Amino acid sequence: MAVIPFLILFPLVISVVMFSVRVNRIRNAIAYASCAVIMAATVALVVLWAQRGGGVQQYYVNTEAVNRVILLAEVVLMVFVTICCVRKRRWYISLLSIVPTLAIVWLETAGPARAPLAHIYLDNLAVLMCLIVGFIGCLIIVYAVGYMHGYQHYHRDIPDRRYYFFFVLFLFIGAMFGFVLSADLLWIDLFWETTSVCSFLLIGYTTLPEAETNSFRALWMNLLGGCALAAAIVLDALHTSTTDLHLLVNDCRAGNTVSLICVALIAFAALTKAAQLPFSNWLLGAMVAPTPSSALLHSATMVKAGIYILFRLSPAMTGNYCGMMISFVGGFTFLAASIMAIAQDDAKKVLAMSTISNLGLMVACAGVGRPETLWAGVFLLIFHAISKSLLFQDVGATENSLHSRDIEEMQGLLYRLPKLAIIMFIGICGMFLAPFGMLISKWAALRAAVDERNIILTFFICFGSGTTSFYWTKWLGKIITRSSKPKVKDITKKNEMLSLWIHTILMIGICALFPFLSGLFVDPLVTQIFGSYTQVIPNRILVLLVVLILFFFAVPVVSYLRSRNMAMNRKLSYMSGINTGNNDAFTGSCGQEQPLVVSNLYFKKVFARKVLMLPCEVISTAVIIVMLTMTIGGAF
Amino acid sequence: MEVSRIIMPILYVVLAPLLGALLTGCDRKISARMQRRVGPPILQPIYDVIKLFKKQVIGVDRAQGFLLFTNLILTVLTGCLFCLGMDLLMVFFILATSSSFLYLAVCVTGSPMSSMAAQRELVQEMAVEPATILAALGFYLATGSFGTLRIASQPVSAIIKTPGFFIAFCFVLTVRMRKSPFDTAQSEHAHQELVQGITTEMGARNLAMFQITEWYETILMLGVAALYFLNSNPWSILLAVVVILALYFVEILLDNTCARLKWKDLLIDLWAVTLLCDGINLIILMMI
């Protein structure tokens, strides 16, 4: 299938083009065209895959020449990272890149001979990831073209390096395609490191001191994961003389203890990439970059790479210490991050916290290692990718118009920026309300956790569910609260709006179609990975839920239309003082006018990141160390 | 069996508000007697609601009406699903959604009193959500099913295996019924720190809708409490009714004797109870 190398290489070629074209208009046109091509190629991949009968397909066994190129690329990457680190006087970080790369080089040149393997592995999960990367990723790029124009216009102090920004974006997309399609761990390692470096470059885009600090934090955390991955690869190659990810999982399921160590190391690496505690700070620091990069990191690429690899490893983690580690860290992160999200009033920070929290739930699903939890995890992945990308783009666009991303400033957004507010509303609903998608996944995860008799995870999900609702509902309320502030001019560009509407339609469409999606695509996916699967939530209930969704949309709309023309005597609200007539101030006891400020609860003293992050990091680090030690110790 | 499947939801839709109103009437009467007053007639809540519907529609914001209506419809729907024997977890999840509509209806006005009350309401939701979900899980662990009809037709009552869950659920019930010491969001009596809490800006038809929704919700929550006692023996229905009435009396007693907690204490108390009662019960059920 020639479309596979095309999908990986085309974005790489385009990224070079992006870097070399310095005329904005031309570069934008190329970006649009390439996005269309990538989406078309993704569709072509799906069609070709389906024509060949779907299921598991393997390609490209003899790839000697490509292997060399990959090795070379890895060394180039190492040199690049080293130069970056040394130039900014952080040479010690480069060690995290040099050591694993040298180990890989040694393995390929002087290591034991390895059995041939199919390097490309195409199944439902890979296809799903390709769809997410191809479509969501490209829509984000379309959005970025418009957004960056406005961004550079308003941030004169930041050097205009859009050529560089789009270079990294396309590189990222290419690396992600490579990552999800490869079966050879050596290939996966290269793409893994590439995404790490890409995120480092994106976060450092503005070159401000804060961006620099945060980008290096992201770099060392992800490279640390890369070290674990490289260690796993070397160990696996020495032990079984192959570097096939799928064989590794099978070996581990067969009870091979050394393979379990490899799995645990890779799972550890995935924790860093998925920004789980104690590695959450890098994703929070990524906020300093322009919004499209956050959208990309949070929804379609980076963090999803960690989740993807955990889903692959999921069958190998059933009922062992590794699985316990992953499900504990995931569940704990779900709860802790959702509590910390309560204290945030910056919209982007709330989104970031909620990403970490939701990823935690996915990680926990993978860690339990049951077909049912994987089903829940995959749906979480789908819904989260769409709604988070939607929300980030929407908050970015709102920020451009409103010049603030403080949630308190968003009071009455529905009346001041109606379009963006409605989209934001739908996005938030998708994140937690019944009967939208995320809730169903949470539901399935909960049932599976109970069936597994996983007490701690059950508690994490129950409490996390409460705190999650709290911070989202709070935000929803702010959007629709009446405000007397004037309307804001909506300066959202057409292409930004296009991307937003496509996301919204996708979101609602997937909500409405998900029983079909489940039966047609996700059930086979789980069966491919686990070999067997029984439904957690019966189809009958799924269909009922879809009916509920329609109902859910119908009730407010119908009653809104009915009440719109209803006669009503408008009165001013009660204020314990004389309302000055506009619902925004009252006359106080001393006769002077007091402006009214209504604020949400944030519990900043108790739930702030400053207060909670350190203890959470300590706990999760301790659990990881103990569990990893037990896994490794258990092998001997 | 099939007929009763359809009849139950219909009965719920028709009777729940009446029952709820009667209970509220009795509640007021008993409260009044506890305070050595005569108290209003038992049917007073119904008269009140009818009168509210006849009044001129006054409101601070137009949107409030349809949000409250959605809250009502979703609550009724939840109750019907409950009566149909559907998944209890789903029932609770949709109930949580309808509560968010109540929150939106309260804070849409932007009025200071109701906005503050809305925040407290949200804290209450957060406080009871874990215990609510765990209650459903408790039923599942005890009876092997989430379906309400299945739970109610077991050979032995669920309470035998789930006393801890029941205790925690009683706390949830107190919050849901807006009784002291957990009525932080709505104070029944005027001139308290939040004036009328979440109902401050509701008038006429909106207030009536809110009241009816509360009745539906109360009956639903009492229904869940009844699930702990129902079993395949028809006499268990009597037991359940007696226990529920006793429970209601205790709630009234509490309401008249306790001072209102601060919302922070409410959160801490409820979570502590959840962790303790649900936690111990859950561990026992899961380990055995």
Q: Which of B66, B137, B141 sits opposite A563 (nearest CB)?
A: B66
Contact B90 A473 (CB under 8 A): no
pLDDT for position B192 = 61
Q: Determine contact: B126 vs chain A, CB below 8 A.
A: yes
Per-residue pLDDT of B228-282, as tens digits, reads 999 888 899 999 999 999 999 999 998 888 888 888 888 899 999 999 999 999 9
Q: Which of B59, B73, B283 sits opposite A571 (nearest CB)?
A: B59
- What is the mean predicted confidence (pLDDT) over B186-203? 70
Distance (Å) from the C-alpha of residue B231 to the closest C-alpha of chain A?
23
- Give the residue from chain A lying closest to B93, CA to CA: A434
Q: Determine contact: B62 vs chain A, CB below 8 A.
A: yes
Ramachandran bin of A208, using left for φ above 0, alpha for ψ from -120 to 50, beta for the remaining angles: beta
Contact A570 B59 (CB under 8 A): yes
H/E/C letters for each residue in B86-113?
CEHHHHHHHHHHHHHHHHHHHHCCCCHH
Distance (Å) from the C-alpha of residue B263 to the closest C-alpha of chain A?
11
Which helix (H) or strand (E) is A586 found in, with range? strand A585-587
- Give the residue from chain B lying closest to A435, CA to CA: B94
Contact B126 A466 (CB under 8 A): yes
Contact B177, B251 (CB under 8 A): yes
pLDDT for position A571 = 78
Sequence-separated (6 or more) residues with CB below 8 Å from residue A43: none
> What whole-number percentage of chain B has pLDDT above 70?
96
Interatomic CA distance for residues A128 and A378, integer angstroms: 9
Q: Which DSSP symbol is given to A574? A: P
Contact A569 B112 (CB under 8 A): no
Which of chain A's residues have a Cβ under 8 Å away from the Cβ of B123? 470, 601
Q: Determine contact: B272 vs chain A, CB below 8 A.
A: no
CA nearest A129: which of A299, A292, A308, A302?
A308
Which of chain A's residues have a Cβ under 8 Å away from the Cβ of B286? 450, 453, 455
Contact A613, A281 (CB under 8 A): yes
- Domain of residue B50 covers 2-287
Q: Which of B59, B100, B130 sits opposite A463 (nearest CB)?
A: B130
- For residue A230, what are the CA distances in angstroms to A105, A107, A186, A344, A555? 11, 10, 8, 37, 54
Contact A477 B118 (CB under 8 A): yes
Contact B122 A470 (CB under 8 A): yes
Q: At what angle do helices A257-273 and A321-342 cross, to 10 degrees?
A: 10
Per-residue pLDDT of B128-186, as tens digits, reads 999 999 999 999 999 888 888 888 888 988 898 999 999 999 999 999 888 877 877 77
Interatomic CA distance for residues A599 and A475, integer angstroms: 11
- Give the residue from chain B lying closest to A568, CA to CA: B57
Whether the CA torsion B276, A325, A214, A198 is positive or negative: it is negative
Which helix (H) or strand (E) is A253 found in, with range? helix A245-253
Which of chain A's residues have a Cβ under 8 Å away from the Cβ of B129? 462, 465-466, 469
CA nearest B187: which of B109, B104, B121?
B121
CA nearest B218: which of B40, B19, B71?
B19
Which of chain A's residues have a Cβ under 8 Å away from the Cβ of B108? 477, 480-482
User: Mean pLDDT for each 10-residue chunk of chain A (636 residues)?
Assistant: 90 93 91 94 94 86 86 93 90 90 90 84 92 91 88 85 92 93 92 93 90 92 93 91 89 88 93 91 88 85 90 90 91 94 91 92 91 88 89 90 88 86 88 72 84 89 92 90 83 86 89 82 88 76 76 73 72 78 80 83 86 92 91 79
Distance (Å) from the C-alpha of residue B156 to the closest C-alpha of chain A?
22
pLDDT for position B188 = 59
Per the listing, tokens 């609550």 go with B75
Per the listing, tokens 């694993």 go with A100
How many Cβ pairs within 8 Å bridge chains A and B?
Answer: 178
Interatomic CA distance for residues A319 and A495, integer angstroms: 48
Q: Is the ipTM of this complex over 0.95?
A: no
Contact A463 B119 (CB under 8 A): no
Among A345, A442, A455, A462, the residue to mutate for chain B (most B Cβ within 10 A): A462
**Band of residue B115 on the pLDDT scale cut at 50, 70, 90:** confident
Q: Hey, what amino acid is at A548?
A: L
- Give the residue from chain B lying closest to A558, CA to CA: B66
pLDDT for position A62 = 82
Which of chain B's residues have a Cβ under 8 Å away from the Cβ of A459? 130, 275, 279, 282
Sequence-separated (6 or more) residues with CB below 8 Å from residue A76: none
Q: Which of A470, A482, A567 sits opposite B109 (nearest CB)?
A: A482
Q: Determine contact: B53 vs chain A, CB below 8 A.
A: no
Distance (Å) from the C-alpha of residue B155 to the closest C-alpha of chain A?
22
Counted domains in chain B: 1
Contact B185, B126 (CB under 8 A): no
pLDDT for position A331 = 93
CA nearest A621: which of A111, A281, A151?
A281
Interatomic CA distance for residues B21 and B115, integer angstroms: 27
Q: Is the pLDDT at B38 greater than 80, yes or no?
A: yes
**Band of residue B1 on the pLDDT scale cut at 50, 70, 90:** low
- Give the residue from chain B lying closest to A551, CA to CA: B74
